[in-house]
Amino acid sequence: MKDRSKLITEQRNQNTHDIDCKSTLEVVDIINAEDSIVINAVHNERQNIARAVDLIVESFQKGGRLFYFGAGTSGRLGVLDASECPPTFGTSPELVRGIIAGGIDALTRSIEGAEDRHVDGEQAITENGINGNDIVVGIATGGTTPFVHGALAQANRLKATTVFLCCNPDISPTEAVDVIIRPITGPEVITGSTRMKAGTATKLILNTLTTASMIKMGKVYENLMVDLQVNNVKLKDRAERMLISVTDLDRDAAGRLLDEAKGNVKTAIIMQKLQIDYNDARKKLDAYEGFVRKVLNNS
């Protein structure tokens, strides 16, 4: 068994030794104070995060996909981030995928031992048809998860781009990776509970990877999610409010325009701004790879 006692995420936090003696409010304050460390830890990795974003965009432009591989909290966060991309950015569910050790059952309950099988990570890469156009982000906050390292090793053999995300300063993958993202969040409030600070850092980084990538792919105009899928009342309301904010339309007119644009906010914006019909708006968006600003700047 590998000695993990020297990993910073496994060490005891000197600030929380007597947390079990504190009042409820003091416990909350201690946790909050420790959480404040996370923001700077992520900020310190901004250059590596940006490099990873550029690689993700490059992969998307080649027709590739983004895969997150993780176990436990890391795996669940990967699945969560991936699952939120289709409704937010109108992407195919296949574009961003989260793969968790132990499979779908591990999303809601612990699957003991699933993360310990290097071969399972290798097999998951093969089963998902990952190739040289794809990018694989291996998430292991402690840095030692065999499932994740198996996935990265097999991804390398298939010439996929690879990123490793961990929260320990002294861990480097034995397999080659293109980028390492290493936010150092320190010992956890409860020793070894990486669902806390390390998990929070992971969530922030995954949010940034996909959001920044989608911006660079034209999925955002100004700061609006103009590729959202209008498939419920809340999202229809949001789509109409987006149109109101970037045009001179009132609510009723925005609703009619959205209907004419077949629920596509991008198309509706182009139709209104350029005073053209649906088909011409679609042609212009296609000509500029879906970037609303490029269409408007060149029309």
Q: What pLDDT sits at residue 3? A: 62
Distance CA 205, CA 46 (A): 9
Q: What pLDDT sits at residue 47? A: 98
Active site annotation includes 84? yes
Do 65 and 94 meet the contact criterion of CB atoms below 8 Å apart? yes
Q: What pLDDT sits at residue 8? A: 83
Q: What pLDDT sits at residue 1? A: 45
Residue 221: closest CA among 169, 162, 161, 273: 273
- Exposure string of 130-145, with b = 16+ CB inside 10 Å and e = fewer, is beebbbbbbbbbbbbb
Which pair of structure tokens corresponds to residue 127? 């089963």
Distance CA 174, CA 74 (A): 20
The reply to whether domains 8-216 and 233-297 share a CATH topology is no
Q: What pLDDT sits at residue 278? A: 96
Active-site residue, selected from the candidate residues 10, 26, 58, 84: 84
- How would residue 258 be classed by pLDDT, with cut points 50, 70 and 90? very high
Q: What pLDDT sits at residue 216? A: 97
Checking if the pLDDT of 158 tops 90, the result is: yes
Residue the block writes with tokens 């090793």: 153
Do 62 and 41 meet the contact criterion of CB atoms below 8 Å apart? no
Q: pLDDT digit string (tens) for 2-45?
A: 666 678 888 888 989 999 999 999 999 999 999 999 999 999 99
Q: What pLDDT sits at residue 9? A: 86
How remote is the C-alpha of 129 from its chain's centroid? Answer: 20
More confident of the two residues 228 and 213: 213
Do 167 and 183 meet the contact criterion of CB atoms below 8 Å apart? yes
The fold of the 233-297 domain, in CATH, is: Helicase, Ruva Protein; domain 3 (1.10.8)
Distance CA 261, CA 264 (A): 5
Active site annotation includes 175? no
Residue extents of the structural domains in the chain:
8-216, 233-297
- State the angle between helix axes of 265-274 and 278-287 in degrees (0 to 180), rounded to the nearest 10: 110
Residue 70: closest CA among 49, 101, 102, 97: 101
Q: pLDDT digit string (tens) for 93-146?
A: 999 999 999 888 888 887 667 677 788 899 999 999 999 999 999 999 998 899
The fold of the 8-216 domain, in CATH, is: Rossmann fold (3.40.50)
Q: What's the pTM?
A: 0.92
Integer-rounded Cα Rg, in Å, for the chain is: 22
Q: What pLDDT sits at residue 56? A: 98
Active-site residue, selected from the candidate residues 34, 115, 122, 240: 115
